[in-house]
Amino acid sequence: MIDRKLSVAPMLDWTDRYCRYFLRLISQHVVLYTEMVTTGALLHGDRARFLDYDPSEHPLALQLGGSDPNELSLCTKLGEKWGYDEINLNVGCPSDRVQSGRFGACLMLTPQLVGDCVKAMKDSAAIDITVKHRIGVDDHDSYSALCDFIGIVSEAGCTTFIVHARNAWLQGLSPKENREIPPLSYETVHQLKRDFPHLELIINGGITHLEMAQRQLESVDGVMIGRGAYHNPWILADVDRLIFGCDHTVVSRHQIVEALIPYVEKELANGIPINRITRHILGLFQGQPGARKWRRMLSEESHLDGVDSQLLIRAAAQVTEES
């Protein structure tokens, strides 16, 4: 069983394996998600590139993008074979590229197809199958339509729904604007939990710090944080103790840097450029004296030839960490 009281959202170009390894150093229990991986990429591309991860990343979920039940079934089998704890179906992304592939948020308009996809995925693996979606699409935003969607997909076997508490606008708004302009409606998600008490409801959207997450947990089963955790990852430092009830000693930011060094050296030895890792840790010292120097040094020097793991030590030395 996966404890989903708090998770970090799948974010394209951000939650890759290097980001996830770093976040796991801060919290042992938060659930981590991959970037969205399309079924086509897995079936016809370099599978190891998309699926490999470090064992420390568990609990770990693979998010798939697709709309063909057979293809999703095959990719679910791959995810289970690779050792993922959960497979999540993306029914929330509003980008043009996703729409052209007939998946993402536009799938909310065809709930029976989503149900068919979920059933095919459930039938092909023993791990959890979950769905991440919006509360509506364009003008199709009635609460009854949302309940119909939940009802059909749950009948197909999905018991965990991650709900981004905004509408998706498929025309006229960019993906960035879709994360900011449509108003949040947390009460809609709270009402879903009241109307579907037997389902696990996870709320997502606009939650930027732990106090907000704790308040949401009074009404729903779990909270998913996105960009708030990426830009200020230290908000996860108290998650294990305050959310999961674990007596986990919170180390300092400088100790996180030290713990990251062996991983950086291993990846450098495997030919991975250091900036693939350092780009994800720029926010570690947010709000601390010297944080700007940390960010500037990592940004300016990580692209230079011959840079090694000592860059992190030298950059961290510029910061005075406050309690």
Backbone angles phi, psi at 110, to 5 degrees: -130, 70
Burial class (CB in 10 A: 0-12, 13-18, 19+), 172: exposed
Q: How far apart, in whole angstroms, are the C-alpha atoms of residue 307 and residue 304?
A: 6
| Residues sharing a CB contact under 8 Å with residue 169, sequence separation 6 or more, in sequence order | 94, 137, 138, 177, 178, 181, 182
* CA 130 – CA 127 distance, rounded (Å): 10
Q: Are 5 and 243 in contact (CB under 8 A)?
A: yes
Give the residue numbers annotated as catalytic, written as ranges.
93
CB-side exposure of 90: number of CA atoms within 13 Å? 27
> What interhelical angle do 143-155 and 186-195 show, nearest 10?
50
